[in-house]
Amino acid sequence: MKGLNDRVVIVTGGAGGIGAAICRRFAEYGAKVAIFDLNVDAATRLCQELGPKATCAAIDITDPAAVNDGVVSVEQTLGPVDVLVNNAGWDRGARFLDTDPELWRKIVDINLIGPINLHHAVLRSMTSRGSGRIVNISSDAGRVGSSGESVYSACKGGIIAFSKTIAREMARKQISVNVVCPGPTDTALFRDFAGEGESGAKLRTALEKAIPFGRLGQPDDVSGAVCFLASDDAAFITGQVISVSGGLTMAG
């Protein structure tokens, strides 16, 4: 990928699963990586693995003040933020009528309000410099729906709509905003959603049969798409949505 060396990249939820794969891939290209994750131990281990160009911080993305302070700290330590990857997400699988407003608010705060907070924190600096890349991790649940993930799907669909709007607003400033939508991916979040034992195994088998490529996605399947959209190779791409699902969803 062109142009990633020494770019300053913030990755939210960067300590595990897809986030860690994204951080590692950026580090391979020579980027300076700031890991935002509330799992301090995992973030610290990954930071040490990535080396002196990496930093980490326990940032609650639902808290606008904490997000602003975290971005300022990154800029003081690594330099102006070139790339933002909104990867942090959370869900609890359940049918909508079995959920309650407390759960809805938590899902919305993490999956929708959190990324909005990050946009607001980085875009003023990006607009003043006339450059920047934002890659938002949504989900195919936000494109085609997903049983048991009603509010999560609503948030991920919201991220797609929000991204397209910000892409339009920021285009004259040469700031790109794009979306990557993973399909079913073998992460801790998926395993928590699928559940343990026979029911989880049945869901995994059913998905493997339904996915044309015949397997669940892996975190590394997503990281390449993210780095491409953050690179100079994607300099003329904005407002787009890429599904990384092994062909499970092919809607436009």
Whether residue 156 sits in one domain with residue 111: yes
Whether residue 118 sits in one domain with residue 47: yes
DSSP character string of 153-175:
HHHHHHHHHHHHHHHHHHGGGTE
Whether residue 140 sits in one domain with residue 199: no
Contact at 8 Å (CB) between 216 and 185? yes
Whether residue 193 sits in one domain with residue 68: no
Which residues are marked as active site? Answer: 152
Structural domain containing residue 200: 186-216
Rounded to whole angstroms, how far apart are CA atoms 207 and 182? 14
Residue 252 Cα to chain centre, angstroms: 21
Q: Residue 110's closest CA among 124, 122, 92, 95?
A: 92
Whether residue 102 sits in one domain with residue 195: no
Contact at 8 Å (CB) between 17 and 92? no
User: Within a domain: residue 62?
Assistant: yes
Contacts of 65 (CB under 8 A, 6+ apart): none
Whether residue 104 sits in one domain with residue 53: yes
Into how many domains does the chain fold? 2
Whether residue 157 sits in one domain with residue 229: yes
What does residue 83 show for φ and ψ, rounded to 5 degrees? -135, 135
Whether residue 135 sits in one domain with residue 73: yes
User: Within a domain: residue 247?
Assistant: no
- What's the whole-model pTM score? 0.94
Rounded to whole angstroms, how far apart are CA atoms 32 and 50? 9
pLDDT in tens, the chain (252 residues): 899 999 999 999 999 899 999 999 999 999 999 999 999 999 999 999 999 999 999 999 999 999 999 999 999 999 999 999 999 999 998 999 999 999 999 999 999 999 999 999 999 999 999 999 999 999 999 999 999 999 999 999 999 999 999 999 999 999 999 999 999 888 877 777 777 777 778 888 899 999 999 999 999 999 999 999 999 999 999 999 999 999 998 865
Q: Tens digit of pLDDT for each residue in 25-38?
A: 999 999 999 999 99
Contact at 8 Å (CB) between 247 and 211? yes
Q: Is 178 helix (H, G, I), strand (E, B) or coil?
A: strand
User: Within a domain: residue 212?
Assistant: yes
What does residue 110 show for φ and ψ, rounded to 5 degrees? -75, -45
User: Within a domain: residue 249?
Assistant: no
User: Within a domain: residue 201?
Assistant: yes
Contact at 8 Å (CB) between 127 and 77? no
User: Within a domain: residue 174?
Assistant: yes
β-partners of residue 118 are none
The amino acid present at 68, given as its one-letter code, is N
Rg of the chain's alpha carbons, rounded to an integer? 17
Q: Cα 223–204–89 angle (5° rounding)?
A: 45
Q: Residue 135's closest CA among 91, 176, 85?
A: 85
Contacts of 245 (CB under 8 A, 6+ apart): 140, 181, 182, 183, 184, 211, 217
User: Within a domain: residue 209?
Assistant: yes
Whether residue 234 sits in one domain with residue 151: yes
Whether residue 111 sits in one domain with residue 197: no
Which CATH number characterizes residue 140's domain? 3.40.50.720
**Region label for 6, one of left (φ > 0), alpha (ψ between -120 and 50) or beta (otherwise):** left
Whether residue 58 sits in one domain with residue 39: yes
User: Within a domain: residue 119?
Assistant: yes
Q: Tens digit of pLDDT for each residue in 155-207?
A: 999 999 999 999 999 999 999 999 999 998 888 777 777 777 777 788 888 99
Residue 128 Cα to chain centre, angstroms: 24
Whether residue 208 sits in one domain with residue 93: no
